[in-house]
């Protein structure tokens, strides 16, 4: 960031705790300044509109976030359009890829700042941000910098009427300015999962991070600036969704394609917005994912795997499991073991090494989760563990804490079993046969992911093709290879990203026919 701007727009390094605070292990933060990043400059709110960002850990005010209106969104889209025609377009592919590798290296170098920003915004355990969110942010840039250099295209020799031949070949061209609209659960990971392939293909982007997580997107602006990504290639506008920045971006005629991760209902609104102008959309939406545990599984591995699938990131992972089906022979033993493992997850401060689970993203989201907790009891659930708000030390009492929760005995028709809760909870039901497990797993309007635990290879294959979901993990969960197709069926989304599938969404094939 230019020195002249620093007094007005302090860099995100202002997230750093003072040494004394670190010694005392207290929750302290010098107030960060969140800013839009437009045309390589950090700018505040032109309209003066801003909103509060509060800590999920203790409810304290982290900072004020500017809300982009028409003027900022127009400026960001115009900057991105100008950059498309400028140096970004002329940069040879290998140089563009090299720049993305430099972005990855810079995220690695500034990992502590990114971790601080992510932890402050989300309240997730520091260990989780250090092992998952931030390294994946860098890995996304590296992976797509590499993949884009190795994409094959077609070439045909076509006979011409004069007895000679023409060369018909295809090239990939960028789509234009891509609107990237992101959720709050894995902020840097999910934003870069889209920004990296979009830039790799030569597009420019305008990103709208979630209003809950403005930190790492702002910081990524600094990184883009410092490695020399040309002005206007990467832009960030902060704000809310409907009736605010998100909607302004989705409906902006200068946006050539929209890539979105978030709730299904928002995805529907974005798809409608994209219909104007016939613009392509990629939608990664919600899920109500099944976990299926057969009696022939490696029991300890299955308990550990389902524990992660249910409780990681306080259950706020779209791929997470909220419906667990366990073969009758091991049902009671499994319920007991999962309860014991859930009870080891100690809620606590993100920087406390013994913390096993963080808070939900906000008090508003906690209200939603607690409504499902009440509904489960009203619908006749047996509460295996949790079900409410944990007792926290006074300093953390204002945070969005909720207990890891397990139920059994609900009817499959209960809204608790049918709707995405996005919290640290699951319902466990027994099944007898493979066919019954499949029928239960597939009885959902969603189709994002599933996790299956069995030692039988034939069954693995049958379940792999039988479960109606975009991703089926057998004896694993959230084991990622960035070259594989990622996405959901039914209400869980449209399109696939990952590897060549991302490159196909973020570019268009042009056929060139050379005769003579």
Residue 200, classified by CB atoms within 10 Å of its CB into exposed (0-12), middle (13-18) or buried (19+), is buried
369-398 exposure pattern, b = at least 16 Cβ within 10 A, e = fewer: bbebbebbeebebeebbbbebeebeeebeb
Q: Which is nearer to ligand NAD, 134 or 297 (CB)?
A: 134
CB of 265 to ligand NAD, least distance (A): 7
* Residue of minimal Cβ distance to ligand 6OD: 318
Say what the alpha-carbon torsion angle 300, 304, 305, 309 is, to the nearest 10 degrees: 150
Kindly give the residue spans of alpha helices, DSSP state H, lying in 397-494: 415-418, 434-442, 457-466
Q: Which is nearer to ligand 6OD, 251 or 289 (CB)?
A: 289
E strand or H helix at 141 = helix 134-148
E strand or H helix at 95 = helix 93-109
185 forms part of the interface with ligand 6OD (CB under 6 A): yes
46 binds, among ligand NAD, ligand 6OD, none (CB under 5 to 8 A by kind): none
CB of 446 to ligand NAD, least distance (A): 9
The residues of the shown chain that bind ligand NAD, judged by CB under 6 A, are 181-185, 190, 208, 210-211, 240-242, 246-247, 250, 261-263, 266, 269-270, 284-287, 318, 420, 422, 448, 488, 493
Among residues 182, 201, 314, 318, the one annotated as catalytic is 318
Among residues 118, 211, 247, 284, the one annotated as catalytic is 284
447 binds, among ligand 6OD, ligand NAD, none (CB under 5 to 8 A by kind): none
Whether 52 sits among the annotated catalytic residues: the reply is no
- CA pair distance 184, 208, nearest whole angstrom: 11
E strand or H helix at 122 = helix 111-122
Q: Which is nearer to ligand NAD, 221 or 493 (CB)?
A: 493
CB of 255 to ligand NAD, least distance (A): 11
Whether 318 sits among the annotated catalytic residues: the reply is yes
Token pair of 432 as six digits:
């007898």
E strand or H helix at 327 = strand 321-327
CB of 180 to ligand 6OD, least distance (A): 13
- CA pair distance 281, 284, nearest whole angstrom: 10
Region from 31-39, 186-194, 237-245, 412-420 binding ligand 6OD, contact rule CB under 6 A: 186-194
Q: Are 498 and 259 in contact (CB under 8 A)?
A: no
CB of 485 to ligand 6OD, least distance (A): 11
Residue ranges binding ligand 6OD (CB under 6 A):
185-186, 190, 193, 317-319, 480, 486
Q: Which residues are catalytic?
A: 284, 318
């Amino acid at each position: 960031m230019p020195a002249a701007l620093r007094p007005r727009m302090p860099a995100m390094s202002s997230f750093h705790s003072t040494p004394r605070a670190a010694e005392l292990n207290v929750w302290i933060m010098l107030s960060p300044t969140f800013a839009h990043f437009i045309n390589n400059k950090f700018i505040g709110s032109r309209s003066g509109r801003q909103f509060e960002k509060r800590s999920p850990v203790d409810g304290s005010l982290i900072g004020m976030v500017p809300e982009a209106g028409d003027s900022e969104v127009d400026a960001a889209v115009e900057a991105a359009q100008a950059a498309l025609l400028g140096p970004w377009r002329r940069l040879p592919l290998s140089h563009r890829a090299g720049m993305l590798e430099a972005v990855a290296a810079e995220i690695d170098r500034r990992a502590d700042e990114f971790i601080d920003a992510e932890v402050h915004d989300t309240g997730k355990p520091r260990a989780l941000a250090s092992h998952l969110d931030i390294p994946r942010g860098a890995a996304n840039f590296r992976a797509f910098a590499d993949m884009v250099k190795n994409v094959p295209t077609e070439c045909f020799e076509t006979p011409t009427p004069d007895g000679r031949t023409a060369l018909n070949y295809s090239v990939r061209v960028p789509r234009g300015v891509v609107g990237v609209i992101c959720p709050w659960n894995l902020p840097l990971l999910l934003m870069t999962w889209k920004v990296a392939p979009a830039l790799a293909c030569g597009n420019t982007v305008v990103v709208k991070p979630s209003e809950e997580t403005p930190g790492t997107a702002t910081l990524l602006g600094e990184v883009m600036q410092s490695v020399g990504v040309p002005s206007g290639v990467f832009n960030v506008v902060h704000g809310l969704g409907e009736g605010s920045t998100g909607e302004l971006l989705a409906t902006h005629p200068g946006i050539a394609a929209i890539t979105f991760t978030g709730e299904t209902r928002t995805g529907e609104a974005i798809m409608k917005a994209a219909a104007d102008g016939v613009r392509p959309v990629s939608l990664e939406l919600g899920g109500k994912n099944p976990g299926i545990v057969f009696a022939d599984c490696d029991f300890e591995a299955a308990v550990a795997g389902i524990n992660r699938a249910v409780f990681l990131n306080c259950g706020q992972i779209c791929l997470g499991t909220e419906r667990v089906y366990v073969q009758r022979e091991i049902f009671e033993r499994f319920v007991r073991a999962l309860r014991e493992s859930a009870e080891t997850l100690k809620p606590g401060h993100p920087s406390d090494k013994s913390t096993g689970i963080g808070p939900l993203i906000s008090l508003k989201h906690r209200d939603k989760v607690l409504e499902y907790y009440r509904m489960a009891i009203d619908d006749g659930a047996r509460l295996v563990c949790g079900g409410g708000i944990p007792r926290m030390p006074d300093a953390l009492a204002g945070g969005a804490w909720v207990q890891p929760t397990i139920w059994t005995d609900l009817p499959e028709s209960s809204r608790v079993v049918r709707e995405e809760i996005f919290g640290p909870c699951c319902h466990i039901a027994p099944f007898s046969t493979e066919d019954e497990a499949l029928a239960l797993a597939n009885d959902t309007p969603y189709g994002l992911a599933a996790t299956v635990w069995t030692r039988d290879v034939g069954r693995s294959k049958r379940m792999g093709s039988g479960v109606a979901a975009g991703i089926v993990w057998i004896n694993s969960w959230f084991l990622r290879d960035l070259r594989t197709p990622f996405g959901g069926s039914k209400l869980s989304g449209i399109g696939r990203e990952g590897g060549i599938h991302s490159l196909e969404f973020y570019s268009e094939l042009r056929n060139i026919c050379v005769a003579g």
